[in-house]
């Protein structure tokens, strides 16, 4: 079983260990405006919006580490709101000139073979 470095170290070693990326973000967030009127956990204000800590850590990590490429396509949907349909639509738009109507993987029927056990 693999344990994070912070779980393997003693108290003194933990104090002197370098901060993890998540701990560094939490340290940065400590200077952000905070509201405790939410039932579950506090909200942090960042760039004009209020976030739960877990989402703000992810946002800070994305802003620091994500490097878009010229041909990236970013699809963002809420869960259970047609994500698969949106991905198929985006694929159809991007690849529409690569396939004829008879060859398009989205328009051809997949043949399912049944194997006996």
Tell if the pTM clears 0.75, that is, is over it.
no
Q: For the segment 48-76, what is each residue's pLDDT rounded down to a tens digit?
A: 999 999 899 999 999 999 999 999 998 88
112 domain-assigned: no
HEC-encoded secondary structure of 17-37: CCCCHHHHHHHHHCCCCEECC
106 domain-assigned: no
Start-to-end C-alpha separation, the chain: 36
Q: For the segment 66-117, what is each residue's pLDDT rounded down to a tens digit?
A: 999 999 998 888 888 989 999 988 988 888 888 777 777 777 666 555 565 5
107 domain-assigned: no
Instruction: Write out the two tokens for 27.
Output: 């340290």
76 domain-assigned: yes
100 domain-assigned: no
Interhelix angle 21-29/53-65, rounded to 10 degrees, is 110
Q: Which domain holds residue 82?
A: 5-95
Q: How many structural domains does the chain have?
A: 1
115 domain-assigned: no
């Amino acid at each position: 079983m693999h344990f994070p470095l912070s779980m393997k170290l003693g108290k003194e070693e933990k104090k002197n260990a370098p901060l993890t990326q998540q701990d560094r973000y939490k340290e940065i967030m400590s200077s952000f405006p905070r509201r405790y009127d939410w039932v579950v956990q506090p909200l942090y204000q960042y760039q004009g919006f209020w976030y739960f800590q877990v989402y703000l850590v992810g946002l800070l990590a994305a802003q620091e580490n994500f490097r878009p490429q010229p041909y990236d396509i970013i699809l963002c949907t809420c869960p259970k709101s047609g994500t698969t349909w949106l991905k198929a639509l985006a694929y159809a738009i991007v690849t529409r000139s690569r396939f004829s109507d008879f060859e398009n993987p989205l328009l051809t029927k997949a043949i399912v073979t049944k194997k006996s056990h």
